[in-house]
């Protein structure tokens, strides 16, 4: 059986849902962040697969390059926020960070 676009898209969809489940179910900020990384990687996989099978140019791969860079910037800012929150609250657990809850 030939491996085509749909195989990669199925893998990408399942990986995206794993990351989403991590963000929703886990309550630790760092593990939620790792779930976000999984979701970004799943989107990257779908973009590269479309770039290879559906179009005849490299635009998808350039987009993945941008996504990786933005993700690196996002991770550094997010982890700095987590460290700042931990200094204030001594916790990296979302259930302890409910100051803005009504």
Partner 1 sequence: MHEILFYTFALLTLVFGFLVIANPFSLNPVTSAMFLVLTIVSLAGLFVLLHAYFLAAVQILVYAGAVMVLFLFVIMLLDLKAEERRRLKAFGVVAGLSSVGAILAIFLVTLARSPLPAATPALEGGTIPLGKLLFSNYVLPFEILSVLLLVAMVGVILLSKKDLK
33-52: which residues touch partner 1 (CB under 8 A)? 33-35, 37-38, 41, 44-45, 48-49, 51-52
Euclidean distance between CA atoms 44 and 52, whole angstroms: 12
- For the chain, how many residues are written? 102
- Please say which residue, 21 or 102, places its beta carbon nearer to partner 1: 21
Token couple for 88 = 């204030």
Positions 73 through 92 that interact with partner 1 (CB under 8 A):
73-77, 79-84, 86-87, 91-92
Euclidean distance between CA atoms 8 and 15, whole angstroms: 11
- Please say which residue, 56 or 98, places its beta carbon nearer to partner 1: 56
Tell me, what DSSP letter sits at residue 101?
-
Out of 54, 98, 100, 101, the residue judged to bind partner 1 by CB under 8 A = 54
Q: What angle do CA 11, 71, 13 make, to 5 degrees?
A: 15
> According to the binding rule CB under 8 A, does residue 98 interact with partner 1?
no
């Amino acid at each position: 059986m030939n491996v085509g676009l749909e195989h990669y898209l199925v893998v990408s969809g399942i990986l995206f849902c794993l990351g989403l489940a991590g963000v929703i179910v886990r309550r630790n900020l760092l593990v939620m962040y790792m779930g976000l990384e999984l979701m970004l990687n799943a989107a990257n996989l779908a973009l590269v697969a479309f770039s290879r099978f559906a179009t005849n140019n490299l635009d998808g791969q350039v987009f993945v390059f941008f996504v990786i860079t933005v993700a690196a910037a996002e991770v550094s800012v997010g982890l700095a926020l987590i460290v700042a929150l931990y200094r204030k609250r001594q916790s990296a657990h979302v259930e302890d960070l409910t100051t803005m809850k009504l």
